[in-house]
């Protein structure tokens, strides 16, 4: 059985990290499969939204499997400049397509960073989140120190990062780390409901919105609004925008084609 399961239905891909016996920790084989999966999500036009989750009822992902991950043989300079791509779990995951993390159980270290790399996070009532690298003399190395303060308050981010302590599902919801907390049996259905609503929208508009939000956070407001107006103009005469208005007038569901 593959350590990463991928299924596509109605333009939604569900990616399941499938090593429940190891808390869905990522070994070298799974890492390679994940990188292939991220490439497929980016390039497959039939995929509009992705849901990422973990197999079993105990863990979403607990980061790298240290028992199976040997120290790198290359120098850091070789890793940074000579290797074709980063070995990080989330390497290659950057995409304009929306990503939903359905977090069941533990999301620790690199597993939490994978969830942070997604646009929307929903979790089950038994979810636990932690970036505990400082406890073992390291730091989060896949965006944790940069993404977490952007999603929750600086004080809450620093509390998690500097203590390395876990937060449960209710605390994650309180600080804005997740959008919803649901019973575990309802988790995938809740994520699927969100994905279906997104997939039904005009794909170029959805991807444009995600890019605008991501890039605009690093721009002065006036500049960001100028870019927003430019993108509005790009989409103004698109087939999908015209189809959306026709469908509204004719009181029917639009048939968006991404054009």
Catalytic residues, by residue number, are 113, 133
Structure tokens at 151: 């999603």
The distance from CA 117 to its chain's CA centroid, rounded to whole angstroms, is 4
- Give the Cα separation of 161 and 176 in Å (integer): 16
**Buried b / exposed e along 21-31 (16+ C-beta atoms within 10 A):** ebbbbbbeebb
- Give the Cα separation of 79 and 84 in Å (integer): 9
Q: Are 61 and 67 in contact (CB under 8 A)?
A: no
Q: Are 174 and 190 in contact (CB under 8 A)?
A: no
- Which residue pairs, CB below 8 angstroms and at least 24 apart, start in 157-164? 160/129, 160/130, 160/131, 161/131, 161/134, 162/134, 163/134, 164/130, 164/131, 164/132, 164/133, 164/134, 164/135
The closest of 87, 92, 60 to 177, measured between CA atoms, is: 60
């Amino acid at each position: 059985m593959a350590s990463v399961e991928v299924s596509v239905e109605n333009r939604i891909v569900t990616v399941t990290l499938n090593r429940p016996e190891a808390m869905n920790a990522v070994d070298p084989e799974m890492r390679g499969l994940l990188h292939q999966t991220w490439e497929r999500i980016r390039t497959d036009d039939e995929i509009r939204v992705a849901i990422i989750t973990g197999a079993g009822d105990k863990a979403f992902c607990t980061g790298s499997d240290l028992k199976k991950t040997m120290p790198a043989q290359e120098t850091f300079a070789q890793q940074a400049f000579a290797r074709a791509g980063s070995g990080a779990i989330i390497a290659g995951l950057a995409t304009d397509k929306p990503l939903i993390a359905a977090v069941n159980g533990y999301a620790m270290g690199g597993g939490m960073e994978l969830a942070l790399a997604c646009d929307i996070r929903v979790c089950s009532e038994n979810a636990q989140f932690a970036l505990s690298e400082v406890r073992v003399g390291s730091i989060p190395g896949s965006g944790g120190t940069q993404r977490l303060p952007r999603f929750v308050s600086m004080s809450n981010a620093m509390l998690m990062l500097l203590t390395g302590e876990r937060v449960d599902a209710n605390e994650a919801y309180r600080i804005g780390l997740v959008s919803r907390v649901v019973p575990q049996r309802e988790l995938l259905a809740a994520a699927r409901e969100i994905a279906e609503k997104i997939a039904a929208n005009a794909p170029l508009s959805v991807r444009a919105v995600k890019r605008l939000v991501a890039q605009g956070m690093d721009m002065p407001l006036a500049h960001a609004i100028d870019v927003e107006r430019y993108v509005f103009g790009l989409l103004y005469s698109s087939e999908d925008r015209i189809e959306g208005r026709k469908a509204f007038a004719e009181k029917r569901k639009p048939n968006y084609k991404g054009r």
